């Protein structure tokens, strides 16, 4: 059967609109300049011209616990607008605060099994401390892209299904020796398969931390 040309044109456009845009993966291996795997770095990708449809969601809990006189985890990624829980799992009180420009706040002394929540409306870095225990330290990175992940103990970060094309790759790590403790570079996300990068970063030695990193 032969279809008239205008019909075929309409069909082509219908298919073009319905077809999913091509997307690729990004696989990054992060290491220090000395070759040690870099854990707890936040890897973010912002595809050019991309705007998320609806709220960004991540599969991990938006939760910064206090356990054994330390924050857990050391680095937490949440999307803009997230409500983060701060449960105290210790049998004594903590007094959590942040002076960070992106969202300064204070959770006055609260005890065991108690939880407070804080909503983070702006992207940025939130450095956390405890008024009682100076050694307690952690960071929340509030992001405005759904393409964000934290590097593993092996220094690996994999982000899947990023729209193909030019994008900005940003890596943030609290002890990175660069402006704002982050570095950015332009990348091109492939239409299929993965872009694999090995990146060495100049970091300063992290301070001693109870419970390690
Ligand atoms: Cu404390």
37 alpha carbon to ligand 1 midpoint, in Å? Answer: 29
92 alpha carbon to ligand 1 midpoint, in Å? Answer: 8
Contact status, residue 32 vs residue 132, Cβ threshold 8 Å: no
Rounded to whole angstroms, how far apart are CA atoms 208 and 176? Answer: 16
**Distance, first Cα to last Cα, the chain:** 67
pLDDT per residue of the chain (213 residues) written in tens, 0 to 9: 455 555 545 544 444 444 457 999 999 999 999 999 999 999 999 999 999 889 999 999 999 999 999 999 999 999 999 999 999 999 999 999 999 999 999 998 888 878 899 999 999 999 999 999 999 999 999 999 999 999 999 999 999 999 999 999 999 999 999 999 999 999 999 999 999 999 999 999 988 899 898
Q: Which domains does the chain have, with CATH numbers?
A: 22-51+154-206 (2.60.40.10), 53-144 (2.60.40.420)
94 alpha carbon to ligand 1 midpoint, in Å? Answer: 4
Rounded to whole angstroms, how far apart are CA atoms 110 and 132? Answer: 11
149 alpha carbon to ligand 1 midpoint, in Å? Answer: 27
Q: Estimate to the nearest angstrom the gap between the alpha carbon of 87 and the chain centroid.
A: 21
If you ran DSSP here, which 8-state letter would residue 179 be given?
G
β-strands 23-32, 42-47 pairing = unpaired
Q: What is the pTM of this model?
A: 0.88
């Amino acid at each position: 059967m032969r279809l008239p040309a205008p019909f075929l044109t309409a069909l082509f456009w219908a298919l073009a609109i319905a077809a999913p845009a091509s997307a690729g993966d990004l696989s990054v291996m992060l290491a220090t300049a000395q070759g040690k795997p870099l854990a707890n770095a936040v890897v973010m990708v912002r595809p050019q011209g991309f705007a998320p449809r609806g709220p960004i969601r991540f599969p991990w809990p938006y939760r910064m616990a206090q356990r054994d006189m330390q924050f857990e985890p050391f680095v937490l990624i949440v999307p803009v607008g997230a409500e983060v829980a701060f449960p105290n799992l210790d049998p004594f009180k903590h007094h959590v605060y942040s002076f960070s420009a992106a969202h300064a706040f204070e959770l006055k002394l609260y005890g065991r099994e108690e939880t407070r929540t804080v909503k983070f409306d702006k992207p940025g870095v939130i450095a956390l401390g405890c008024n009682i225990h100076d050694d307690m330290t952690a960071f929340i990175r509030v992001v405005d892209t759904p393409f964000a992940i934290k590097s593993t103990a092996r220094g690996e970060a994999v982000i899947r299904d990023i729209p193909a094309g030019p994008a900005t790759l940003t890596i943030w790590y609290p002890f990175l020796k660069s402006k704002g403790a982050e570095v950015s570079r332009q990348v091109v996300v492939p239409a299929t398969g993965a872009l694999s990068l090995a990146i060495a970063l100049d970091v300063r030695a992290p301070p001693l931390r109870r419970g390690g990193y």
